[in-house]
Amino acid sequence: RADAALSLPPGLPASVLFLCVRQADCSGDPARARSFCGAAVTAMKAALKVTTCVSGRCSNSSPSRRRVCRASQVSLLQPLLEKSSGFSSQLRPLSVPALLESESITGLSGSAVKMGVSRKRAGSGPRPAGGEAPTMASVLRELGVLYAALTQQALPPSLMEQAFQQLTYLICASALNSLLLRKDMCCWSRGIQIRYNVSLLEEWLRSRGVQAGGAVAALEPLIQAAQLLQVGKKSPADAQAIVQTCTALSSQQIVKILMLYTPSSDLDERVTLNFIRTVQALLKSRSDQQPPQLLMDVRRVFPLKFPYLPPPALHAQDLLIPDSLKVSFLRKA
């Protein structure tokens, strides 16, 4: 039961299972160990329908048993990350308007009326109940809920980082895809707002210690798109700088943003066709590391990577197992 799990010490179920696997492995009875592992995996898959989290604690069992444990971890944690993708589907209606539209730097856009008309025309999904525009505070609050839940289950740091890499990639992909379809977002002032909003997300990730493992790096396409809206777009030197710095954007994405760019004031100018052609010529000679596509794949799921974890100093007599689990048949040897 999920409510019972919340009252348990973090990692207790994983610790109990680990000790049982170790005991079965040391018994010298392969059939017994295999039977136990099979039953445990079946039970965990059933529990996954509600909620699940496992800890990588099979480091000092036999090679064959480690393979079983590793396969179980992948089969259980991959859906967990896919569930974080589902969490992103709840987050997406907040994150796209929060990253692209929210006025974190007040007064910069200059024309709230104009932006309001553009939003109605282009749209970015229905707003949550209450009609208030989503902000970065809304996004960070939702991320905090997930972070607290994963922390409660004592998820290893490397897996925590991978979970947030998946989330930030999906957030970035959704926001960038929306940007590439919205001319009203492609202007100098929006570039500054978007970059600032992304910096708030970067700061949040670093403050929680989940920036490693690609969580911050996954935001790079959106960061470079925001920078592209801010840089000069006139001279050959400007074109060369764009090609050299926008490495996380595909050639199609760079050209699309330049074509959509709209002056936000009388002091700004449209990007000329000659400049775009200059950029396109330079892009042809670039060894493009990005997929040759305009929109990012919002269904992409990163494969799980399990680092080696030293065997835990775990002893049965140190575990406090509450009666509510109804496992009194276990004997602490």
pLDDT digits (tens, 9 = 90+) for 220-253: 999 999 999 999 999 999 999 999 999 999 999 9
pLDDT band (50, 70, 90) for residue 105? confident
Instruction: Return the sign of the alpha-carbon dihedral for residues 169, 171, 172, 177.
Output: positive
pLDDT at site 176: 96
- Alpha-carbon dihedral angle through residues 255, 260, 265, 270, given to the nearest 10 degrees: 50
C-beta of residue 168 within 8 angstroms of C-beta of residue 140: no
Residue ranges per domain, the chain?
2-325
| Residue-averaged pLDDT of the chain | 80
How do residues 253-294 score in pLDDT, each as one tens digit? 999 999 999 987 777 889 999 999 999 999 998 876 667 889
Cβ-Cβ contacts under 8 Å for 296 (sequence gap 6 or more): 172, 173, 176, 177, 221
**Cβ partners under 8 Å of residue 263, min gap 6:** 187, 188, 269, 270
Instruction: Pick 171 or 68 by higher pLDDT.
Output: 171
Residue 75 pLDDT level (bands cut at 50, 70, 90): low
Confidence grade of residue 196 (pLDDT, cut at 50, 70, 90): very high
Q: Which of 187, 148, 163 is nearest to 266 (CA)?
A: 187
Dihedral angle of Cα 85, 91, 92, 93, to the nearest 10 degrees = 150
Percent of the chain residues topping a pLDDT of 90: 36
End-to-end Cα separation, the chain, in angstroms: 27
| Tens digits of residue pLDDT in 13-26 | 778 888 888 888 88
Model confidence at 59: pLDDT above 70: no
Per-residue pLDDT at 74: 53
pLDDT band at 91 (very low <50, low <70, confident <90, very high): confident
Residue 127 CB neighbour total at 10 angstroms:
14
* pTM metric for this prediction: 0.76
SS3 235: coil
Residue 70, pLDDT above cutoff 60: no
Q: What is the pLDDT of residue 253?
A: 96
